[in-house]
A and B are shown apart, each in its own frame.
Chain A
């Protein structure tokens, strides 16, 4: 799965010096991500004139092209890039932390927690808004954090490494439990609200301005800041906790950082865009297939490819049936699902 791939030859999966690989990776994947982010705002359900969009002589409030470009498309593309990068990078980290290639950002119970939060906000018509976050994102954020805190409390004991199996089981169980709560609330609520929750679960990047982005950016940035120093420790953790400890990794601390960083990043991404699936699983695997498994390369490459992937999926979601939108979560799952099955079959 590593060095025999043609792309691996290009980037030198596993045998070329890490410095050269990292540079090549950042150039190639950074180029892909930048390309996606540059092209995506130019395309949409409507054709607009760029020269008019950037024409400063027309007041912004009167300039439809500028509004479409700066209010509808650009924030959407940026939200897609941010959420995609966040979900893919968290996928990489959790797959290493749990030593399980099927782990996803939602393995920790975060998606069900956030969905429960969103559901409650929709059902009880919460009107609490906080700064840049409107009620539903705010409640989903609170739900995500609560779920992650619960799983964390279950899986840790002071002064000891986390039990990754407890972490995994607690996350999966909590997901089911929260899903049951969601179904209960939905059953008691009316159809409109139920439908709105289901729609929320499908993910949505039409954020309509940069304010929601700015609202979750601190969370994602804090999460990434915690994850950024971890890749070489994650390499060792994925070999084994004892192996990591005997090579100087503070296992308990690394696991704590990875968990909290992953939870913050996921919570931010979900509050921004809803629990969009498959990005966190498919993108890391695709990256490993292309450039090998060293987390120092895989983490940045996955973040960049995740950004490009979600921006691309959103482009499909907003153009394929225009003026009707296909929820982006459906697009990622419809593209990601078959691809992932192909990966599994191919590996087996």
Chain B
């Protein structure tokens, strides 16, 4: 179960936030009357409640300043040694306060805890998942907040370079119509969740050289009926699954479920890809690798 938990924040965002735009804001100002704060660039004790942000912190070189992470954090491996302070729904404010952080990274829906921490004079960094551009700007903002502006710049450029490389590699290739699935009932095509035309999954797919068949639905998450799947006739089905959740036999069985929709070009041409790995569904610095994985599935010939 633990492996799949990484996708928590993702699905939360995809499913519960209807709007495609994301807001990255620096923490609210401290109420007057508290001890003077260290300047934003000097956050030394950071608690991250968002796995994607944890990954960014380590990527920009702020890893040593991270003193605690959410119960869903698994990457990078260094987080295994860090204390856990709850997550999206159950942040443990007492433990967070006891750790005496000077910066807490929260998700945008965690308003109450931001208020609590604000009253305690602790800065928060509120964040919501967005597209790839928002991801890059979030890294930059984190760099400023943690005193790693240069590291953030390097990480952002590296990520941008990865994405550009993938884009260049598939540029000349014909773009297949792709159904990008990130959840459904086991061994059934019911209650299927796919990426609409907003959010980082959609943008990753675009970079990887696929046309999202639900690009016209400007939402991060779409639940289409099987009729709609048949009508939109994807050339390729890409199913993303967090790491380790399925055995090889289960994977084969889940792939076979699609055969009921025999008229789908994806089914007829055997282009049903189940990709496993939590890097696929966490909007952090590993989206570059994830995008390449999508591109390899869509355009294997481009990577020969």
Interface residues of A, Cβ cutoff 8 Å to B: 44-46, 48, 60-64, 66-68, 71-73, 76, 121-127, 129, 134-137, 187, 189-193, 195-196, 199-200, 204, 206-209, 318, 322-325
Does B232 lie within 8 Å of A323, measured CB to CB? yes
A-facing residues in B223-254 (Cβ within 8 Å): 223-228, 230-233, 245-246, 250, 253
| B 38-68 to A, binary, CB cutoff 8 A, 1 in contact else 0 | 0000000000000000000000000000000
Q: Which residues of B contact A48 (CB under 8 A)?
A: 231
Does A192 lie within 8 Å of B223, measured CB to CB? no
Given A67-B263, A134-B188, A190-B4, are A45 and B228 also a contact pair (CB < 8 Å)?
yes
Does B11 lie within 8 Å of A46, measured CB to CB? no
| B 1-20 to A, binary, CB cutoff 8 A, 1 in contact else 0 | 10011011101100100000
Q: Find B263's partner among A45, A46, A63 (CB 8 Å cutoff).
A: A63
- Say whether chain B's binding surface is mostly helix, strand, loop, or mixed: loop
Q: Find A72's partner among B89, B230, B245 (CB 8 Å cutoff).
A: B230
Does A324 lie within 8 Å of B191, measured CB to CB? no
Q: Find B183's partner among A129, A137, A192 (CB 8 Å cutoff).
A: A192
B127: Cβ under 8 A from any A Cβ:
no
Taking CB as reference atom, which chain A residue is nearest B12? A191
Q: Find A134's partner among B8, B185, B228 (CB 8 Å cutoff).
A: B185
Taking CB as reference atom, which chain A residue is nearest B224? A323
Taking CB as reference atom, which chain A residue is nearest B186? A135
| B 81-102 to A, binary, CB cutoff 8 A, 1 in contact else 0 | 0000000111000000000000
Interface residues of B, Cβ cutoff 8 Å to A: 1, 4-5, 7-9, 11-12, 15, 72, 88-90, 183, 185-191, 214, 217, 219, 222-228, 230-233, 245-246, 250, 253, 260-263, 268
Q: Find B250's partner among A44, A46, A127, A137 (CB 8 Å cutoff).
A: A127
Given A61-B262, A324-B223, are A126 and B186 also a contact pair (CB < 8 Å)?
yes
Taking CB as reference atom, which chain A residue is nearest B11? A192
Does A191 lie within 8 Å of B11, measured CB to CB? yes
Q: Which residues of B contact A125 (CB under 8 A)?
A: 1, 186, 245-246
- A210 → B minimal CB distance (Å): 11
Q: Which residues of B contact A209 (CB under 8 A)?
A: 260
Q: Find A127's partner among B4, B9, B253 (CB 8 Å cutoff).
A: B253
- A320 → B minimal CB distance (Å): 12
Q: Which residues of A contact B186 (CB under 8 A)?
A: 121-122, 125-127, 134-136
Residue in B7, B12, B188, B262 whose Cβ sees the most chain A Cβ within 10 Å: B188
Does A195 lie within 8 Å of B11, measured CB to CB? yes
Taking CB as reference atom, which chain A residue is nearest B6? A190
Q: How far is the CA of A135 from the CA of B4 in the complex (A)?
A: 19
Q: Which residues of B contact A318 (CB under 8 A)?
A: 225, 227
Q: Which residues of A contact B226 (CB under 8 A)?
A: 71-72, 206, 208
Does B231 lie within 8 Å of A189, measured CB to CB? no
* A to B CB contacts below 8 Å, 6 in the list: A45-B225, A63-B263, A68-B230, A72-B227, A76-B225, A196-B191
Does A322 lie within 8 Å of B187, measured CB to CB? no
Residue in A61, A121, A190, A324 whose Cβ sees the most chain B Cβ within 10 Å: A190
Taking CB as reference atom, which chain A residue is nearest B222? A324
Q: How far is the CA of A66 from the CA of B12 in the complex (A)?
A: 36
> Nearest 9 pairs between A and B by C-beta?
A72-B227, A46-B231, A61-B262, A134-B187, A191-B8, A190-B5, A134-B188, A67-B263, A323-B228
Does A208 lie within 8 Å of B262, measured CB to CB? no
Q: Which residues of A contact B225 (CB under 8 A)?
A: 45, 72, 76, 206, 318, 323, 325
Q: How far is the CA of A200 from the CA of B189 in the complex (A)?
A: 13
| With A190-B7, A196-B191 already in contact, 9 other A-B pairs whose C-beta atoms are closer than 8 Å | A44-B227, A64-B231, A71-B260, A127-B253, A136-B185, A190-B8, A208-B188, A322-B228, A323-B228
Does A68 lie within 8 Å of B231, measured CB to CB? yes
Q: Which residues of A contact B190 (CB under 8 A)?
A: 204, 206-208
Taking CB as reference atom, which chain A residue is nearest B232? A323
Q: Find A190's partner among B72, B219, B268 (CB 8 Å cutoff).
A: B72
Q: How far is the CA of A18 from the CA of B190 in the complex (A)?
A: 43
Does B227 lie within 8 Å of A45, measured CB to CB? yes
Q: How far is the CA of A207 from the CA of B11 in the complex (A)?
A: 23
Taking CB as reference atom, which chain A residue is nearest B228? A323
Q: Which residues of B contact A121 (CB under 8 A)?
A: 186
Q: How far is the CA of A125 from the CA of B254 in the complex (A)?
A: 12
Q: Which residues of B contact A71 (CB under 8 A)?
A: 226, 230, 260-261
- B240 → A minimal CB distance (Å): 12
Does B8 lie within 8 Å of A323, measured CB to CB? no
Q: Which residues of A contact B228 (CB under 8 A)?
A: 45-46, 322-323
Q: How far is the CA of A187 from the CA of B222 in the complex (A)?
A: 25
Does B230 lie within 8 Å of A196, measured CB to CB? no
Q: Find B187's partner among A76, A135, A189, A323 (CB 8 Å cutoff).
A: A135
